[in-house]
């Protein structure tokens, strides 16, 4: 998921209408090789649980 600033979508790593499955979510590949569909409603939660940054606010949609 890449930013599309010229189309008005400057964010990266967030479901958007320009990539893959659109704004509903995306397929995510994990380090153990499995793939999961992650919908927009759980995107923040799953992202935060997969990173060590611990600086993102988890907001359910």
Q: Per residue in 26-48, pLDDT tens?
A: 888 888 999 999 998 888 888 87
Q: How many domains does the chain have?
A: 1
| φ, ψ of residue 31 in degrees (nearest 5) | -60, -30
Residue 3 lies in a domain: no
Residue 11 lies in a domain: no
Residue 7 lies in a domain: no
pLDDT tier at 58 (50, 70, 90 boundaries)? low
Residue 41 lies in a domain: yes
Which is more confidently placed, 39 or 6? 39
Q: Which domain holds residue 56?
A: 21-61
Measured CA to CA, the distance from residue 25 to residue 38 in angstroms comes to 6
Residue 6 in this model has a pLDDT that exceeds 90: no
Residue 14 lies in a domain: no
pLDDT score, position 9: 65
Residue 43 lies in a domain: yes
Residue 54 lies in a domain: yes
pTM (predicted TM-score): 0.60
Residue 4 lies in a domain: no
């Amino acid at each position: 998921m890449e930013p599309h600033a010229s189309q008005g979508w400057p964010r990266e790593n967030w479901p958007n209408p320009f990539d893959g499955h659109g704004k509903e979510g995306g397929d995510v590949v994990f380090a153990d090789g499995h793939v999961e569909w992650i919908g927009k409603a759980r995107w923040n939660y799953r992202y935060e649980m997969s990173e060590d940054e611990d600086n993102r606010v988890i907001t359910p949609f």
